[in-house]
Amino acid sequence: MATDLSAGPGVFRRLMKKVAVWEETLNYSGVDYTFDRIASVERELAPLKDRMRQFEASRQEQPDVGSDAPTCARVRSKI
């Protein structure tokens, strides 16, 4: 954004128009706020999702240690 401040008529008006355009780009609407909040929540949620995936993967990799052990019903029936 080049600012032409040559000493001609309408210099102040052009400057004020450029300031108004610049200020308009700085407006932070409700939609912008919502998108920023969603992005923030997604950033916070990403590590949790990764930890859950790792947890699920580790649960599937571990063999079921108690599968060969007799159940309580079998033990009681033999008593």
Distance between CA 60 and CA 49 in Å, rounded?
Answer: 17
pLDDT above 70: residue 61 = yes
**Do 14 and 4 form a contact (C-beta atoms < 8 A)?**
yes
Q: Per DSSP, which regions of 15-67 are E strands? A: none
Predicted pLDDT at 25 = 84
Give pLDDT tens digits for 2-55: 555 566 788 999 999 999 999 888 888 888 899 999 999 999 999 999 999 999
33 burial via Cβ count (<10 Å: 0-12, 13-18, 19+): exposed
CA–CA distance, 14 with 16 (Å, rounded to integer): 5
pTM over 0.75: no
What pLDDT, on a 0 to 100 scale, did the predictor assign at position 24?
A: 86
